Structure 1
Amino acid sequence: MNTIRRIVEFAKVKTFAFKCIAIGAALALVASACVIQLASTQLIGGRQTAQAATANRTLTVTLSAKRGRILDANGSVLAQSVERYTIVANPEAAQEFEPITCNDNTRDYCHEIDGKPVGATGAAAVGRLLAKVLDMNAMELGADLSGTGQYVILKKDVTPQVKRSIEALHLGGIVWGELSSERLYADGDLMGALLGGVNDNGDGVAGIEQVENKTLTGTDGHETYQRGNGGEEIPGTMTESVAAKNGDDVTLTIDRDVQWYVKKVLKEAESKYGAAWAIAVVQDVQSGEILALADSDEVQAGTDAAKMSPSRAVSETFEPGSVGKVISMSGYLQMGLHKMSDQLSVPDHITQEGQTYKDSFDHGTERWTLAGILQNSSNVGMIMAGENYPDEQRYEYLTKFGIGQPTGLNLPGESSGLLTNPSAWDLRTRNTILFGQGYTVNALQLNNVVATIANKGVKQQQSIIKSTTDANGKTTETKKGEATRVVDEKVASDMMNAMESVAEGYNKFVKVDGYRMAAKSGTAEVQGSDGTLSSIISDYSVVIPADNPRYAVTVVMKDPNGVFGGLTAGPVSAQICEFLMQKYEVPVSSPRKNAIPVTW
């Protein structure tokens, strides 16, 4: 019996030992597997794991380049980009947000609103914290933060102060600001459509912003570094840094003070004369630089209106009317067909080849010199004097003075006007061409006609971009096109003499005390909204001072009460001229001598 019992007990011990050995072997196998896996992770996959962790923390941030400024001739800022931020958030992180209660130990990183607990968790809590800073509705913010994904834009174009206020909310890793910029224009509608605007990407799409977009646009940089859980840069982890290169500044020839005054005068004139619109150009005679280019339209720079519509001052074309007589008469003199003192007997109407032409007023046969024909703006006298003036030369001198040609300013929306080839002229057009009808111009072209006469017969390339300045302060003057001689100096001098007599004829309405002026007025019928010749263009071009030409000014108005250019556009140009004389402290004129007789 004892033997049987010992055998049973031995069998149990043997079974238990076997189980222990089996369990030990299994544990040894598991341990070996763990050791192998650990060795694999550390020795084989460790580098890959570390690289993956580093890559997950590494961030490349774009450093936005600032768009260059647009300045006036004196350095006043007309357009500039300012630092702004786009506030973005991680919705997934927001939904897991748990506000930290404020106490003495957590004061530096806790969350509260006006000294009180947030009163919510998740996206709703983040929305409540942001609402006051962003001036937005807390519930709307909460809804934006309740979506899927890790990126949502909450608000654009916030100031650096707002960004700093958000950083003080201790929402790192949930809400942050991305650097952007906003284009600001200093003077509203002062140069609205002329400056134009930029699109959402910061590219110039209209006006000078478009013309100089390549110059104004900078090159973005970037930084690559590792970030912590709160989105902050981990010190010492910067691996790459390329600085942004800001765009160049562009300086215009426009004088802001002159532009402001001209704009003011045009708006007042539009109201006073009931005109549909008014345009003015102020140009430096000797350099061709445009000091003011304005219209009465009220278009804010940077708005959709400024981006969609070009400046009226460059896009509007019209028949110049009698100002065009300056071109034809210059051609008569240059070709030797006449001298300014030539004597003609001029009736108030004339018929040629079945076409009848009349002057703007009834008169008997007048004994006028060529200077008198210009002073009295006689259409009949111009036709009589142009009897031996071939069509080819009529066309040639129009083109030499810039009619039908681009101004070279390359402003968006600029129209070169319309000048057809002589082969397309009918019997009437070949004569109306002589007194400013049958072709169209823009205000810049017309102003350069009288500026060329004032510049001793030399036509300057007009300019509106004075220089560019890079981020290092290096200024480069803009290259100008070559000047071209249109008529001889003697011809220009005689034309100035006759134009001064024209100005004296308007002295009761158009004058600047102490200064001599040389001018020509114009009035032309143009097509109205009804498709007929029911509208009027009134213009006046003037050079001041006549004895020492400095500035050429042209004012154009559509449908003013008073009609005639000398009675409407003329007084407006005188206001501008008076301002110029005072601003630039131009010496008064010497008395006039040797005026060419206007009658005989």
Structure 2
Amino acid sequence: MKLSKAGKVKKRGTKTFNLVSFAQRSIVVGIILSLVAFVALGKLAWIQLLDGQSTAEAAAKSRTVPRTLRAQRGKIVDTNGMVLAQSLERYTIAGSPKAAADFIPIKCTTQTKDYCHAIDGKPVGASGPAAVARLLAPVLGMNQMELGAQLTGTGSYVVLKKEVTPQVKRAIDKLNLAGVISAELSNQRSYPHGDLMGSLIGGVDTDGKGVAGIEYMENGLLTGKNGYEVYQQGRQGQQIPGTETKSKQPVNGKDVSLTIDGDVQWYVQKALADGKAKYQAGWAIAIVQEVGTGRLVAIADTENRPAGSAEAKMNPPLVVTQTFEPGSIGKTITLAGMLQEGVRSMDDKFTVPDHIKVDGQEYHDATHHSDEHWTMAGILQNSSNVGMVMASDKYSDQKRYDYLTKFGIGQPSGLGLQGESRGLLTTPQTWDRRTRNTVLFGQGYATNAIQLTNAVATIANNGVRNQQSLIKNVSDLNDKSDPEATGKPTRVVDEHVASQVMNGMESVAEKFKSVASVNGYRVASKTGTAEVAGQNGALTSIISDWVGVIPADNPRFVVTVVMKDPQGTYGGLTAGPVFAQIGEFLMQKYEVPPSVPRTDAIPVEW
């Protein structure tokens, strides 16, 4: 009996112990929970009362994103404002596969109508990339399956389509896919008249940076400065209205206006193409320059390449890269130098054979002839190499070199054109017995059409050499215009000397009036023909050129035409007619008054 009672007492003690243990554990848990609650309340109080602002700022920062506002590249226009290059508003559409995976269309109700998703008023019927593709594919004109595949993955950026128009971009905006689909402004470069001086205009790279031609030369002016804005975005990536914190508007690039007249450029290109075909030339180039200003009105060749094309980016204009011996056109520079130095006069008399030997070197005229009684003007008119050598006996080598450089031969044009060659003119100290005399009649040195044009323009401009220009001015959207800086005019020879050389050049033009005249207008010109290296390196090719001033009595334009290997060989018979065609167009377009009759011709014979 005692044992049984003892056993009961023991059992009751265990139960009491368990109750005490449970109470203790409950108290501990309660204390812990109280401490956690206390800490949480303390943290809440800290956040709300003391650290609320910094927490809110952190939350806002996590939602804040920057966006670049791209500047638009400036336009390139001709002297009349005709657009030659411009940036069109285009967009690159990109998607986020990561965001697309979580995309769930929002059903359209009265409350959600401004941001819901539907197709022709019906539910999308899918979620994730498939839903995005169903919404977006019809707007982009893409295959729904292919688009869905592009949007499948874990990446955050994939290009879906490039060069999208603003109309399509606005349609995408209405799909309420912000955060999944984005549009980036790309500014596609467009060339409305791509085949008009394409290599001269050049092109841009995929980033919109000028890499060739005017696009490269004036890239600093054409390129604008991007702006930016900083805002907060919602869960779907959409901009939260009124949350912009910082912004800077982009500054668009400046427009560049050329001195080139698009109408003249087009006509000159056509005249060259016709001339090349007619005379079966290897190529043809031409330049039109205003005498009084140095402005280039046309720069053309027959290697037409569309602006913006890979060919235009890789190949500068033939006009600036092609160098050649000018041939007898160089005699105008020699004549001007001799007159300026006073070693010769235009009416000096010579008996000129068709060949002569000097210092063991023999020189020939282009055609055989008996001894001729020519004045200095007659030597120029008949383009006599022999006569030039005879007349230059007192014209030193240094002076021969000095006047070539003063007229710009072998010197940079200052235009800044990419790929421009300065030609080749060595110093007198390197000349041999033959070269010292061949430079008198345009051989033994190389020039380009730009240099040659300005040399003759200097004579036509009363002996003053202007800095040639290709850029008329630059302007911004506020129509502020800044003329392009140009070099100061430089007097090379006296006005009287220039007038006498022009007189002689008129006599040259009269000799070719049957093939290269412009009805109603006096012309002063000089022809040239020179042997140049062919593909095999030997002197197997011919350069035929013509430089003419029109009108001769009131110089307005200088026109240079150069052909390689034309049938007909001589410049007066090939390049001359092309000059006449261009000259006639210029006189009509600019309504230049007809010339007065010539009455002061210097005698060419005695």
TM range (shorter): over 0.9
The answer for unaligned runs of 5 or more in structure 2 is none
User: Could you say which residue in structure 2 is the equivalent of 1:249?
Assistant: 255
Percent of residue pairs bearing the same amino acid type: 58
User: Could you say which residue in structure 1 is the equivalent of 2:267?
Assistant: 261
Partners of 1:393 and 1:259 in 2: CA distance: 37
Q: Which range is displaced more, 4-13 or 452-461?
A: 4-13
Q: Would the aligned equivalents of 2:423 and 2:447 in 1 still touch at CA under 8 Å?
A: yes
Q: Secondary structure at the residue paired with 2:544?
A: strand
Q: Secondary structure at the residue paired with 2:190?
A: strand
Q: Would the aligned equivalents of 2:76 and 2:83 in 1 still touch at CA under 8 Å?
A: yes
Q: Secondary structure at the residue paired with 1:282?
A: strand
Partners of 2:514 and 2:344 in 1: CA distance: 31
Partners of 2:135 and 2:565 in 1: CA distance: 59
Partners of 1:29 and 1:47 in 2: CA distance: 30
User: Could you say which residue in structure 1 is the equivalent of 2:314?
Assistant: 308
User: Could you say which residue in structure 1 is the equivalent of 2:218?
Assistant: 212
Match among 323, 326, 340 for residue 329 of structure 2: 323
Match among 139, 145, 149 for residue 143 of structure 1: 149
User: Could you say which residue in structure 1 is the equivalent of 2:33?
Assistant: 30
User: Could you say which residue in structure 1 is the equivalent of 2:357?
Assistant: 351
Partners of 1:463 and 1:305 in 2: CA distance: 25
Aligned 1:364-403 pairs, distance under 5 A: 364-403=370-409
Q: Which range is displaced more, 102-111 or 578-587?
A: 102-111
Shift of 1:160: 1.0
Aligned 1:556-595 pairs, distance under 5 A: 556-595=562-601
Shift of 1:276: 1.6
The one-letter code matched in structure 2 to 1:26 is V
Does residue 43 (structure 1) correspond to residue 49 (structure 2)? The answer is: no
Shift of 1:577: 0.9
| CA distances 1:486-540 after superposition (whole Å, capped 9, x unpaired) | 1111111111111011111111111111111000011111000011111111110
Q: Secondary structure at the residue paired with 2:187?
A: strand
Does residue 282 (structure 1) correspond to residue 288 (structure 2)? The answer is: yes
The one-letter code matched in structure 1 to 2:589 is K
Shift of 1:115: 7.0
Does residue 417 (structure 1) correspond to residue 423 (structure 2)? The answer is: yes
Q: Secondary structure at the residue paired with 1:394?
A: helix
User: Could you say which residue in structure 2 is the equivalent of 1:549?
Assistant: 555
Partners of 2:10 and 2:418 in 1: CA distance: 112
User: Could you say which residue in structure 1 is the equivalent of 2:432?
Assistant: 426
Aligned 1:181-220 pairs, distance under 5 A: 181-220=187-226
User: Could you say which residue in structure 2 is the equivalent of 1:71?
Assistant: 77
| CA distances 1:368-419 after superposition (whole Å, capped 9, x unpaired) | 1111111111111111111221111111111110001111111111111000
The answer for unaligned runs of 5 or more in structure 1 is none
User: Could you say which residue in structure 1 is the equivalent of 2:467?
Assistant: 461
Shift of 1:311: 1.4
Partners of 1:19 and 1:486 in 2: CA distance: 116
Match among 112, 125, 139 for residue 133 of structure 1: 139
Shift of 1:301: 1.2
Q: Secondary structure at the residue paired with 1:404?
A: coil
Does residue 89 (structure 1) correspond to residue 92 (structure 2)? The answer is: no
Q: Would the aligned equivalents of 1:245 and 1:471 in 2 still touch at CA under 8 Å?
A: no
The one-letter code matched in structure 2 to 1:496 is M
Match among 279, 294, 305 for residue 299 of structure 1: 305
Shift of 1:102: 6.6
In structure 2, do the counterparts of structure 1 residues 42 and 264 end up closer, same or farther at CA, with 3 Å as the change threshold? farther
The one-letter code matched in structure 2 to 1:77 is V
Shift of 1:95: 2.0
Q: Which range is displaced more, 199-208 or 13-22?
A: 13-22
Q: Would the aligned equivalents of 2:84 and 2:194 in 1 still touch at CA under 8 Å?
A: no
Shift of 1:156: 2.4
Shift of 1:24: 5.6
| CA distances 1:36-73 after superposition (whole Å, capped 9, x unpaired) | 13532552475554333212210111111111221211
The one-letter code matched in structure 2 to 1:134 is L
| CA distances 1:339-361 after superposition (whole Å, capped 9, x unpaired) | 11122111111122222211111
Shift of 1:9: 7.8
CA RMSD, 1 decimal: 2.4
User: Could you say which residue in structure 1 is the equivalent of 2:524?
Assistant: 518
In structure 2, do the counterparts of structure 1 residues 525 and 118 end up closer, same or farther at CA, with 3 Å as the change threshold? farther
Q: Which range is displaced more, 26-35 or 432-441?
A: 26-35
User: Could you say which residue in structure 2 is the equivalent of 1:170?
Assistant: 176
User: Could you say which residue in structure 1 is the equivalent of 2:22?
Assistant: 19
In structure 2, do the counterparts of structure 1 residues 116 and 261 end up closer, same or farther at CA, with 3 Å as the change threshold? farther
Q: Secondary structure at the residue paired with 1:412?
A: coil
Q: Which range is displaced more, 145-154 or 253-262?
A: 145-154
Shift of 1:315: 1.2
Partners of 2:44 and 2:575 in 1: CA distance: 88
Match among 503, 506, 511 for residue 509 of structure 2: 503
Q: Secondary structure at the residue paired with 1:581?
A: helix
The one-letter code matched in structure 2 to 1:491 is V
Q: Would the aligned equivalents of 2:74 and 2:253 in 1 still touch at CA under 8 Å?
A: yes
Shift of 1:91: 0.8
Q: Which range is displaced more, 410-419 or 298-307?
A: 298-307
Q: Which range is displaced more, 130-139 or 585-594?
A: 130-139
Shift of 1:580: 0.8
Q: Secondary structure at the residue paired with 2:528?
A: strand
Partners of 2:564 and 2:149 in 1: CA distance: 55
| CA distances 1:8-52 after superposition (whole Å, capped 9, x unpaired) | 889858855763564365245224313413532552475554333
Shift of 1:432: 1.0
User: Could you say which residue in structure 2 is the equivalent of 1:539?
Assistant: 545
In structure 2, do the counterparts of structure 1 residues 458 and 26 end up closer, same or farther at CA, with 3 Å as the change threshold? same
User: Could you say which residue in structure 2 is the equivalent of 1:477?
Assistant: 483
Aligned residues: 600
Q: Would the aligned equivalents of 1:497 and 1:595 in 2 still touch at CA under 8 Å?
A: yes
Partners of 1:193 and 1:35 in 2: CA distance: 78
Partners of 1:509 and 1:8 in 2: CA distance: 140
Partners of 1:112 and 1:372 in 2: CA distance: 89
Q: Secondary structure at the residue paired with 1:317?
A: coil
Partners of 1:128 and 1:371 in 2: CA distance: 84
Partners of 1:438 and 1:130 in 2: CA distance: 68
Partners of 1:42 and 1:569 in 2: CA distance: 94
TM-score of the pair, normalised by structure 2: 0.93
The one-letter code matched in structure 1 to 2:446 is T
